[in-house]
């Protein structure tokens, strides 16, 4: 079940990150792919860190730490799925 799934960001040493105004340029050394991210993807990666967290914990953290408006858990889940597919987040 997705609510119990632990999500972890890619290890920091595998990423090269440059913040460009509203965009985040992220080079993933493991795959050799460069990603251009917009909110909330960078915020998700920062919040998850390598320790990881579940979807409910991530939702709470994002709303508290990044002053994000109350949102749809389904939309956040969809963003997580995209980051997993891109290899930037691991679901365990």
Confidence band of 41 (pLDDT split at 50, 70, 90): very high
Q: Within a domain: residue 41?
A: yes
Instruction: Indicate the DSSP class of residue 66.
Output: S
Please give the pLDDT value at position 62.
87
Is a pLDDT exceeding 60 seen at residue 1?
no
Q: Which domain holds residue 48?
A: 2-86
Instruction: Write out the H or E segment, with its range, that includes residue 79.
Output: helix 73-85
Q: Within a domain: residue 38?
A: yes
Q: Within a domain: residue 37?
A: yes
Q: Within a domain: residue 91?
A: no
Structure tokens belonging to residue 23: 């965009």
Q: Within a domain: residue 74?
A: yes
Structure tokens belonging to residue 33: 């792919």
Q: Within a domain: residue 92?
A: no
- How many structural domains are present in the chain? 1
Least Cα distance to 55 among 92, 9, 6 occurs for 6
Least Cα distance to 59 among 77, 41, 42, 46 occurs for 77
Confidence band of 84 (pLDDT split at 50, 70, 90): very high
pTM over 0.75: yes
């Amino acid at each position: 079940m997705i609510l119990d799934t632990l999500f972890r960001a890619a290890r920091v040493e595998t990423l090269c990150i440059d913040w460009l105004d509203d965009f985040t340029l992220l080079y993933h050394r493991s795959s050799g792919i460069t990603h251009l991210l917009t909110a909330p993807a960078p915020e998700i990666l920062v919040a998850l860190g390598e320790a990881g967290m579940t979807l409910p914990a991530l939702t709470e953290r994002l709303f508290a730490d990044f002053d994000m408006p109350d949102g749809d858990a389904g939309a956040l889940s969809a963003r997580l799925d995209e980051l997993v597919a891109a290899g930037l987040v691991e679901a365990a």
